[in-house]
Structure 1
Amino acid sequence: MADLINILLRFALYVDLLLLFGLALFALYSAEAMLRFRPMLRGMALIGALLSVAGLVLITRAMSGETTFAALWPHLQMMLLETDLGLAWALRMSALIVVLIRPGAGLASMAGAVALASLAWSGHGAMDEGALRFWHFLSDILHLLAAGAWLGAMLALVLMARGLVDEARIRLLVLSVKRFEWIGAVIVLTLSITGAVNYLFIVGPRLDDVLLGTYGMLLAIKVLLFAGMLVLAALNRFHLGPSLQQSLRDGRHAVAANALRRSVVVELAMALLIVALVAWLGTLSPAPG
């Protein structure tokens, strides 16, 4: 039960911080949508802070074996003041407080990036040492930021495509999709490279034994879901995006917006499944068994 709670908590925190950073970043290149996202950014920052507190208590309790708060408190202090994980936690909380106070696109995206990057210290990279530790952390952080940019953009497009859709909304969608095209290419390239690099850091240049265990099977599912997301992203780029532009000429705004929204919702659902797998994989050893 404790393992399940840990996985669920990790999943919720990952989703929250990925979307917090991604939505704020999206607002930088689609400033027209910022007013809609600002209350959401504050809410996500608050939720992220609460989940972070719960996560710190849970991991400290698991490491110390203590159950009462009085007995747990000294261990919490030690975790905060004497470990890299505690430093990353404090940095995350500071960044989330910044978003709560000033949820503007520029500041929120930078603070969101810091909060999201802090999750790397709860991954497999924390077990490395020396130069390997640095490069593993760098790869993890780039992977997290790219994933956040993608998830945040998908959520933003879903929010913008729902409700009453008129010509002004379609023009905003067309502009946002166009601006995301080159960013999306960078995201896919970054995720592909850092994903492969992280696999080499964690597992090494081998497949045979790894694929026989739970870690390998979950990783294979993650790769398949990622491939499915690439297919949907290509569909959005080469078919649904042009359909939005066409709707400006033929007036079929709702049809084009609904088609884009349905595709992005499926893509976002696949992304959330990947995040759930990542939350699970972070608790496992790559060794078969």
Structure 2
Amino acid sequence: MSDSINIALRFALYLDLMLLFGLAAFGLYSLRGQERVSGAQLPFAPLLVITALLGGLLSLAAMACMAWAMSGASAWAELWPHIEMMVLETEVGLACTLRIAALLLAGFAVALNKPWPTASLVLVTLGGAVALATLAWAGHGAMNEGSRRNWHFITDFLHLWAAGGWIGALAAFALLLRQAEPQLAILVRALVGFETVGAVIVVVISVTGVANYLFIVGPSVAGLFDSTYGQLLTFKLILFSVMLVFAALNRFRLTPLLEQARQTGEHRIAVSALRRSMALELSVAVVILGLVAWLGTLSPAME
């Protein structure tokens, strides 16, 4: 039961912190000037406040769950000393403390959105990036030592930030497309502008994914697919390929179709097609995050 709760909390943290970081970053590279004010195009204020607050609550719950699993305590009075010890004396606890501080910064920065929208999103992006990076201390990289540990953490950071950028962009496009009459000029500009960002994200995820595999498993696939870890990893790679197909469809088919439709005024079919594609791609991404949360609790040799 504790394993299921741990996986659920890890999944929720991944999704929440990636949305916080990715939505704020999207506002910086896709929107301009007053378009970054909450409500002008995207409801930044409620979304970012909720994700920052939820991230803090989930972090506290994850710490309590970890202390409960390690101590076996059945009462709060017995559990609290173990939580205190983990927070003050372990790297995971220090990472959790840093995450909560970064989330407080992000939450405070949201209040600056109306007068200084760009500065607000910069601070939220920085806070979200730090909070997201702290999840690496709950992964396989924490089991390494020396320079190998440092390089593994670096690849984890890059992998998390790239994945967060992709998740946030998908959520932002889904929100833009939910509008009854989306502002097509801004939507098309954001879609076209995301082509370069999306290409960088795919390259970073691919390279760091291979590097992480080498750190965790090594340069071999012998016996990997006999383990639960290997089977889940294979399924994750299949779903990642599906996401790439959706991304290519959006890039080479649906975005040009929307741009042409905007000029003729008949854009409903193109918008509906994009809505379906973005919804499906985001759904696949959420399933992948669930697999990532599960994989983080396994070792390649475990059954």
TM-score range, shorter chain: over 0.9
Give the corresponding residue for 1:96. 103
Do structure 1's residue 265 and structure 2's residue 275 form an aligned pair? no
Report the Cα distance in structure 1 between the residues aligned to 2:48 and 2:194, rounded to whole angstroms. 20
Other structure's SS at 2:20 match: helix
Q: CA contact under 8 A between 1:34 and 1:105: conserved in structure 2?
A: no
Change (3 A) 1:288 1:85: closer
Give the corresponding residue for 2:63. 56
Give the corresponding residue for 1:38. 45
Q: CA contact under 8 A between 1:161 and 1:261: conserved in structure 2?
A: yes
Report the Cα distance in structure 1 between the residues aligned to 2:222 and 2:27, rounded to whole angstroms. 44
Q: For residues 268-283 of structure 1, what are the structure 2 equivalents within 5 Å?
A: 268-283=282-297
2:134 pairs with 105, 118, 122, which one? 118
Report the Cα distance in structure 2 between the residues aligned to 1:136 and 1:237, rounded to whole angstroms. 32
Other structure's SS at 2:221 match: coil
TM-score (ref. length: structure 1): 0.97
Aligned residues: 287
Supply the RMSD in Å over aligned alpha carbons.
1.1
Report the Cα distance in structure 1 between the residues aligned to 2:86 and 2:235, rounded to whole angstroms. 34
1:66 pairs with 69, 73, 79, which one? 73
Q: CA contact under 8 A between 1:165 and 1:253: conserved in structure 2?
A: no
One-letter identity of the residue aligned with 1:4: S
Shift of 1:30: 2.6
Change (3 A) 1:38 1:30: farther
Q: Deviations over 1:139-168 (max 9, x none)?
A: 0110000000000000000100113125xx
Shift of 1:96: 0.8
One-letter identity of the residue aligned with 1:74: P
Change (3 A) 1:122 1:34: farther
Give the corresponding residue for 2:116. none
Q: Which segments of 5 or more consecutive residues in structure 2 lack a partner in the other structure?
A: 111-119
Q: CA contact under 8 A between 1:162 and 1:258: conserved in structure 2?
A: no
| Runs of 4 or more above 2 Å deviation | none
Other structure's SS at 2:163 match: helix
Give the corresponding residue for 2:164. 148
Other structure's SS at 1:102 match: helix
Q: CA contact under 8 A between 1:117 and 1:145: conserved in structure 2?
A: yes
After alignment, is 80-89 or 32-41 more displaced?
32-41
Shift of 1:173: 0.5
Report the Cα distance in structure 2 between the residues aligned to 1:201 and 1:14, rounded to whole angstroms. 21
Quote the sequence identity (%).
53
Give the corresponding residue for 1:27. 27
Change (3 A) 1:174 1:33: farther
Other structure's SS at 1:284 match: coil
Change (3 A) 1:288 1:5: closer
2:230 pairs with 209, 213, 216, which one? 216
Q: For residues 210-249 of structure 1, what are the structure 2 equivalents within 5 Å?
A: 210-249=224-263
Report the Cα distance in structure 1 between the residues aligned to 2:29 and 2:228, rounded to whole angstroms. 40
Shift of 1:134: 0.3
Q: Which segments of 5 or more consecutive residues in structure 1 lack a partner in the other structure?
A: none
2:201 pairs with 155, 162, 187, which one? 187
Report the Cα distance in structure 1 between the residues aligned to 2:37 and 2:62, rounded to whole angstroms. 30
Give the corresponding residue for 1:6. 6
Shift of 1:67: 2.1
Q: CA contact under 8 A between 2:30 and 2:194: conserved in structure 1?
A: no
